[in-house]
């Protein structure tokens, strides 16, 4: 995925952040155009159009100019349309969020398609984000959020340059890690700051991070069966109350069944020992019938009969009225 070696200094920016021309033959052409009015609302200062007022440093991560609850995003001032996804692309959105959401430790949480203000002219939503919400200590209400620590992008019909460009902007903003899952072939990779490219992650690799309660198996982000197993392991790692209660209940039932089974085994052994002590031979057929009996009351009755029986078959004879 990408070049075999690191890009020379300045090459990444030149390749993925060209000056946006007025003809709009730029990033917006990679995505579907929203309407005939598609255009640039806050392009770089060296291109034509309206420019946002300059801000001191980076804008707040939740200071958005992209309209909420729409599919409109902005990349370097270019308005783009974030098209809805089909199966299996859409399902992978949900699966990654479920698995990663199960593994995040407090105070982190996850979100799908949450807008992030990357810079003055960029406001787009990574497919899945791991972030820390800002909570009012007095009211307990969420009042904002921190920049995401981890972002996931899912690539289906787009060109590789699309998530690459987003990864470059996100890491420049301060996002620690950016992953990309390619739908075709289920290939997962992580953006390498050191090498300026995507580094593949094998399915059996474990993804460790301070945001997680335990390492996540990479394959769980791509395979639904592994995902269910991974979520279960995450709940155990978190000592989730409902899971702990269920395990304790299962253990208690197991101990109870074990105690019952032990009592049955003891009664069966008592019958055979009594016969052996009295010198009465017990055939394999009778031994099998004793071993298969699961009613404790019946076994108790057989113990009493074994004490006085003259032969083994008397165990099974009914009392005469």
pLDDT above 90 for 211: yes
* Rg value, the chain, Cα: 33
Average pLDDT rounded to a whole number, residues 237-260: 73
pLDDT at 68: 83
161 Cα distance to chain centroid: 26
Average pLDDT rounded to a whole number, residues 248-277: 81
pLDDT at 247: 66
Q: Domains along the chain?
A: 11-237 (3.90.1570.10), 256-316 (no CATH)
d(CA 94, CA 286) in angstroms, rounded, equals 59
**Alpha helix ranges (H) inside the chain:** 11-16, 89-103, 161-173, 224-237, 241-278, 284-292, 296-308
pLDDT at 164: 95
pLDDT band per the 50, 70, 90 thresholds, residue 255: confident
pLDDT at 119: 92
How do residues 45-94 score in pLDDT, each as one tens digit?
343 333 333 344 788 898 899 988 888 999 988 998 888 888 888 999 89
pLDDT above 50 for 185: yes
Tell me the average pLDDT of the chain.
Answer: 80
Average pLDDT rounded to a whole number, residues 168-174: 94
Q: Which residues lie closer than 8 Å to 320 by C-beta, 6 or more apart?
A: none
- Taking the CB of residue 153, how many other CB atoms lie within 10 A of it? 20
pLDDT above 50 for 127: yes
Which of 140-144, 180-184, 301-305 shows the lowest per-residue confidence on average (mean pLDDT)? 301-305
pLDDT at 121: 92
Average pLDDT rounded to a whole number, residues 297-312: 86
Classify the C-alpha dihedral 66-71-73-78 as positive or negative.
negative
């Amino acid at each position: 995925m990408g070049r075999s070696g690191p890009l020379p200094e300045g090459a990444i920016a030149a390749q993925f952040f060209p000056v946006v021309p007025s003809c709009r033959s730029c990033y917006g052409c990679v995505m579907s155009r929203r309407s005939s009015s598609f255009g640039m609302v806050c392009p770089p200062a060296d291109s034509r159009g309206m420019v946002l007022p300059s801000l001191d440093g980076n804008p707040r991560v939740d200071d958005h100019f992209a309209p909420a609850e729409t599919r409109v995003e902005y990349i370097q001032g270019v308005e783009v349309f974030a098209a809805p996804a089909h199966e299996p692309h859409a399902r992978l959105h949900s699966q990654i969020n479920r698995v990663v959401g199960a593994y995040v430790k407090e105070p982190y949480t996850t979100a799908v398609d949450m807008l992030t203000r990357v810079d003055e002219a960029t406001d787009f939503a990574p497919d899945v984000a791991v972030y820390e919400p800002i909570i009012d200590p007095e009211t307990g209400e969420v009042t904002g959020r921190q920049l995401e620590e981890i972002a996931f992008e899912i690539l289906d019909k787009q060109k590789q340059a699309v998530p690459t460009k987003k990864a470059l902007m996100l890491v420049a903003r301060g996002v620690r890690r950016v992953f990309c899952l390619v739908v075709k072939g289920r290939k997962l990779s992580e953006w390498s700051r050191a090498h300026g490219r995507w580094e593949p992650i094998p399915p059996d690799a474990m993804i460790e991070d301070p945001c997680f309660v335990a390492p996540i198996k990479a394959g769980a982000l791509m395979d639904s069966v592994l995902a269910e197993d991974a979520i279960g392991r995450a709940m155990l790692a978190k000592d989730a109350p409902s899971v702990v209660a269920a395990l304790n209940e299962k253990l208690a039932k197991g101990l109870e069944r074990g105690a019952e089974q032990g009592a049955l085994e003891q009664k069966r052994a008592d019958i055979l020992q009594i016969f052996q002590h009295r010198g009465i031979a017990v055939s394999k057929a009778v031994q099998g019938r004793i071993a298969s009996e699961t009613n404790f009351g019946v076994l108790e009755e057989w113990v009493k009969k074994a004490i006085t029986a003259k032969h083994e078959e008397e165990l099974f004879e009914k009392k005469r009225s």
